[in-house]
Structure 1
């Protein structure tokens, strides 16, 4: 099973399918993609309790670094979350990094940048 995607390869999902949006600051140090122990445990609980047949994991960043850097960082963070998911037996069908390209809030304030630094876990039911 693979998710539906648009012409740019971005998963197309109804908002109800996003079962988890987690602020990456809760899991990662600045400019890092290794997940803290507490973050790993929280993610393990999430994947163990989620009622989905598969997951798509998408990483996002704020706009403070270059596009190329943010694309790589967001993908590495999403991949780190996917590894935790796989360790629980969860089925991950896609891992994507969007960098700063899909902001949820403005990047002109600290609060907005914090909201943009996130990992979205899309549930496929």
Structure 2
């Protein structure tokens, strides 16, 4: 049965077996420093309010949440911290009534900028929200 989705779906699935949609795009990037204290995965009140408003306004079908860090700690530690932060954002999303397709932690492995400067490290400490429309 052709339901019109074949052209939009890639052959890849996430860990839950849900097809990953090619039409997803990064619709939100929040600097981790705005959401979390150093070495923490607890979202501050201002960050929580910002996220709730974001999820209420974007209107996507579902979301993929990815966490990232700078390179100041070990790879293993950064992988764990980035996943804990992504999961914290995903919990806010779910409490806001939206669907989460996947949550991923990339640690320091997908830098946005060089880790050799403070400004670059700050750009790398982020949570990206991918909207699937």
Measured in 1, the distance between the counterparts of 2:98 and 2:59 equals 10
* Aligned-CA RMSD value: 2.1
C-alpha separation in 2, matches of 1:100 and 1:31: 14
Listed as ranges, the gaps of 5+ residues in structure 1 are none
Is 1:47 the counterpart of 2:55 in the alignment? yes
Structure with bigger gyration radius = 2
Q: When the two structures are superposed, what TM-score results if normalisation uses the length of structure 1? A: 0.89
Residue from 100, 116, 119 that aligns with 1:111: 119
Quick one: distance in 1 between partners of 2:28 and 2:10? 19
Check if 1:38 corresponds to 2:46: yes
SS state at 1:90 partner: coil
Greater strand fraction, Structure 1 or Structure 2: 2
| Alignment: residue pair count | 120
Find the counterpart in structure 2 of residue 123 from structure 1: 131
1:12 to partner: Cα distance: 8.0
Q: TM-score, normalised by structure 2?
A: 0.84
Runs of 4+ in 1 over 3 A off after TM superposition: 3-6, 11-14
**Matches of 2:40 and 2:28, distance apart in 1:** 21
- Give the distance between the partners of 1:33 and 1:105, measured in 2 at CA: 22
Q: Is the 8 A contact 1:5 1:12 kept in 2?
A: no
8 Å contact kept, 1:27–1:35: yes
Q: 1:79 aligns with which of 74, 82, 87?
A: 87
Which residue number corresponds to residue 4 of structure 2? none
